[in-house]
Amino acid sequence: VGHLYLVPTPIGNLEDITLRAKRILTEADYIAAEDTRTSGILLEKIGVHNHMISFHKYNSKQRAPELIKILRSGKDIAEISDAGMPVISDPGYILVQECIKNDIPVVPLPGPSAFATALIASGFDAQPFTYYGFLPRKSSEQGEFFEKMAQSSATSIFYEAPHRLKKTLKTLSKYIARNRQIVCARELTKIHEEFIRGSIEEVQDYFAENDPRGEFVILVSPNTEQEKTLSWSELIDQVNELVDQD
């Protein structure tokens, strides 16, 4: 059987393609790409010329069996997404699952991903962290995630589109303390790379003056204040303890 290679591609700066990624993309029999047009431009720039097969979230269920057939015939497939790591908020998961079921070796290559790049420069503790990917778009559905982040002692990371950023920060501000630190990492590895750091209030003020443009990763600092809300039973236990002390 062939191999499924999971190949990360740059999230902005073309120099971030690894030597191994370039070699695998050149040597594989096929490249399964999320968007063959976008990837065509990237591959051209890095000097890779190879056959591409389109594989995205809308055709992945039908395409996966076809790709499995190719892999079973002994051919290698390199899977890429538009940018960064395949599978991380991008298609790929279904194919990986199918390969595992079919005893086809899955070979992941290390490389760029926006969330890890943002995390290491955030200044927040990276152990533990929780990665949420994209949150639901509606404020009403974001609440349960923001509640978790508000109470979490892990650094929380999520992706957001620029045109939704202000609204999402406003919703977030209803769930976290005013002085809770957040970081918005913008345009990582690109010319306009920027880190907007501060309390949720300060960051909101910044975006009131500067319209969000480009790509963003948002990080919420761990809750070190232990401002965890107690469940009713925990509350009753605590009250009973106090009463006992008296």
Q: Rule CB under 6 A: which residues touch ligand SAM? A: 11-12, 81, 83-85, 88-90, 113-115, 159, 161, 185, 187-190, 215-217
- When the beta carbons of 88 and 203 are compared against ligand SAM, the nearer one is 88
Task: Give the residue among 220, 238, 242, 221 at the shortest CA–CA distance from 229.
Answer: 238
- Write down the H helix ranges in 102-199: 114-122, 139-151, 165-173
Structure tokens at 165: 């950023």
> Smallest gap, in angstroms, from Cβ of residue 227 to ligand SAM?
28
Distance of closest approach, residue 11 Cβ to ligand SAM, in angstroms = 4
Give the nearest distance from C-beta 212 to ligand SAM in angstroms: 11
Q: How far is the CB of 183 from ligand SAM (least distance, A)?
A: 11
Helix (H, G, I), strand (E, B) or coil at 63: helix
What tokens does 180 get?
């809770």
Q: Compute the half-sphere exposure of residue 209: CA atoms within 13 Å on the CB side of its CA.
A: 6
Cβ distance to ligand SAM smaller for residue 2 or 83: 83
Identify the CA nearest to 10 among candidates 212, 193, 194, 188: 188
Nearest-CB residue to ligand SAM? 84
DSSP code for 77: E
36 versus 102: smaller Cβ distance to ligand SAM: 36
2 or 42, CB closer to ligand SAM?
Answer: 42
CB of 75 to ligand SAM, least distance (A): 25
Our CB check for ligand SAM shows the closer of 169 and 223 to be 169
Report the residue number, 57 or 228, with the smaller CB distance to ligand SAM: 57
* φ and ψ of 65, to 5 deg: -60, -35
The tokens of 135 are what? Answer: 């949150």
CB of 37 to ligand SAM, least distance (A): 16
**All residues at 6 or more sequence positions from 68 whose CB lies less than 8 Å from its CB, including other chains:** 95, 98, 99, 102, 104
Task: Identify whether the C-beta of residue 221 lies closer than 8 Å to the C-beta of residue 43.
Answer: no
